[in-house]
Structures are given as structure tokens and as C-alpha cells.
Amino acid sequence: MLQEADGVQFYPTPDNPIPGEPVLRRVETHDGLALRVACWSPSGPNRKGTVCILQGRAEFIEKYFEVVGELLERGFSVVAFDWRGQGHSARQVGNARKGYVRHFDDYRLDLEAIREHVLAEMPGPHFALAHSMGGAIALNGTYEGWFPFQRLVALAPMVGLSIIKHPRSVQSLAGFLRALGLGKAFVPGGGETSISTMPFKGNRLTTDPIRYARNAHAAVEVGDGAIGSPTVAWLDSAFRFMQRFADPRFALKIHLPVLVVAAGEDPVCATPAIERFAARLKAGHAIVLPGARHEIMMESDAIRAQFWAAFDAFIPGSSDAFDAHPEPVRPSAAEQLHRRRMDAAVAGGDYPATIRR
């Protein structure tokens, strides 16, 4: 355990040591919640800007120590923080193990606090590396125009779920239970156990047993920072939030350069929905990593090598990426033809769900 200023702590383990020399601090959001934040600077002279890691649901800073080290080696400064309601950031419920948020739009307050109090002090240009829930928040921020980054890499973004077999029924149930005042209760069948500490066999997250065990040890050390199941309110809010991505016009309005990396064997987020969404992006594209499960950055060396090759080709990108209003990445002639046909289909109200790039 590492003690830092203001009572903020890291929770390393022997197989998950703290990379570099971080500065650990707390940052307060506009609605008064304290976020745990860590910042790193690379040691070498060739510096490329700052990468901010946007976690998925139920994650925590310690889980990304390996990724932070790899970014530092590439010459990036790094910012990592825990979203409200998870890790060692503030809670809005009494049981710290409950994954709770009132509305997904509240996560914008977390990113605004990071922008105002942290990114303002970090070297530019600023890039985002976002996973799952973090990817969905990032994509929505780019659509709404407040996302404070100049390029985005979204890993298995939560634009649709495959983990739930009957989403419409579950969504209706979540809304009904919330209306009954049960928003702060665990979802039916849920509990305090972190998904990271469940048995490796049959897990949804990674095919790599060593990294899975490392993250399980980290979750135990983090304690209540490794939250359990989502609450009814979180699930209800997530469904409402994901409805935005179902509109084929949504992605058309995103002009930020985006690289979407999907997992070929993702049992959590729906890869076909991710591909359909990415096909609509004006300044982005998608790749699918065969054999990968949901947590691509926690996968096997072979899968991670594919991810880092794509990342290195996209970040930091050309000098255009450093402009406050970057020009869209020009698609190929085939992509332009495909998108014109899709635009015509949308305009005519004929957009089959099976369209894929």
C-alpha cells in the first residue's frame, strides 16, 4: 500500500507494482464528489502528449498499471482516475460495493473535473483511451461536443449489450423496479462480489489466466474499490443511455478522429452493434480482434500486440490531430461509396439492422 497526500492511496501487489513515479490526488466535481486521480510523466526526452484512461464499469486505477507503464515507455504522460461510484472515488450510496449512478450524464461531471483540474496541467495534445462504459461516455461526449480530447481510442464501447439475452424485458423490469423506489438495490441476483474475483473458467473478460489472476489479486487488495454488481438505477440508466447509439444518425454527427477496437469473442458488449455504429463514423473506423474477450487490454500477449499496433498507428497521429478542430480523416473511395449508400438508406427510412461495413 502506498500512502500519498490527503489520505489518497494506491493498492499495489507483488505481481502488480506501481509504474513510474505517479502523483496521486483527489479532485472534486461540481456536484461535490471526490474522485481519485493519478498522473504520470515519462522519463525520456521524446514526449508525445497525454493519454487519459477512461475505465469501464467496476474497474479501478490499479487494474491499468501495466497499460500505464506501456504508455510511459511510448513517451506519453498518463492520467487515470476512478469514476464516481467505483474504485476509491466517492459513493452516493451507503454500501460501497454497489455499482450506482443516478444518471449516466452525471459521468460528464467527472470528466469536466478532470479537464479543469488535471488536464489543464498536463502536456498536450490530449488523447483518450476508453474501455466499455468509458467508451460509451466518450462517444456521447464527442457527439455532444464537450469531450476534451483530440483523438479517441474506444475499446469494446458499450453501445449495445450481448450479456443480456432479453434486453427489452430486462430494461422494462429495471425501469419498473426503479419506479418502485428500488434504484439503489442490487439488480436481481446481484451481490457484492467483484467480477474480477470470480473463477477464471468461464469468465467473460480475458483468455489470459496470468493477467486474470493478477487482476483478481489487485481486486482483493483494493477492497471495496472493486465493486460488485450494478444497481437497478445503474442498469436503467445504462439502457436509456445506450438508446442514443441505436439511432443511425448519431454516429454521423461525430467528427472527432476515433479508432474503435472491438473484441471478436465479446460476451459482454455486442460486437455487431459496435461494428454497425463504427461504420457510420465520419472520421473513424473499426477493427475487430479475433479471439479477444471483453477486456482487450487484459488479454493475451498476441491479442495485445495487435491492439498496440493499431494504437501506435493512430496515436498521436498527424499534426492535424493537435488542432482544436481537427479535420476529419478522409475515408477510402470504397468507404465513401458505402457511406453515401447508407446515408441514402437513412434518409429514406430504410436502415436494416444487419448492415455491416
Q: Domain ranges in the chain? A: 2-347
Tell me the angle at which helices 133-144 and 232-246 cross, rounded to the nearest 10 degrees: 50
Q: What is the greatest pairwise CA distance in the chain? A: 60
pLDDT tens digits for range 99-110: 999 999 999 999
pLDDT tens digits for range 31-87: 999 999 999 999 877 789 999 999 999 999 999 999 999 999 999 999 999 999 999
pLDDT at 243 over 50: yes
Report the pLDDT value the prediction gives residue 335, as an integer from 0 to 100.
41
Q: How far is CA 144 from CA 102, 321, 326, in A?
A: 20, 19, 16
Mean pLDDT over 235-254 rounds to 95
Report the pLDDT value the prediction gives residue 318, as an integer from 0 to 100.
58
What CATH number matches the domain at 2-347, 3.40.47.10, 3.40.50.1820, 3.30.360.10, 3.90.1150.10? 3.40.50.1820
- Rg (C-alpha) for the chain, rounded Å, is 20
In 86-135, where do the E strands start and end? 126-131
- Closest C-alpha among 32, 33, 36, 31 to residue 5: 36
Overall size of the chain counted in residues = 357
Report the pLDDT value the prediction gives residue 100, as an integer from 0 to 100.
97
Mean pLDDT over 279-307 rounds to 96
Cell of 166: 432479453
Peptide bond preceding 125 in cis form (omega within 30 of 0)? yes
On whether the CB atoms of residues 293 and 131 are closer than 8 A, the answer is no
Report the pLDDT value the prediction gives residue 6, as an integer from 0 to 100.
65
pLDDT tens digits for range 113-165: 999 999 999 999 999 999 999 999 999 999 999 999 999 999 999 999 999 88
Peptide bond preceding 316 in cis form (omega within 30 of 0)? yes
What b/e string do you get for 225-235 counting C-beta neighbours within 10 Å, with b at 16 or more?
A: bbbbbbbbbbb
Question: What's the rounded Cα separation, in Å, for the pair 98 and 80?
Answer: 21
**Full-model pTM:** 0.88
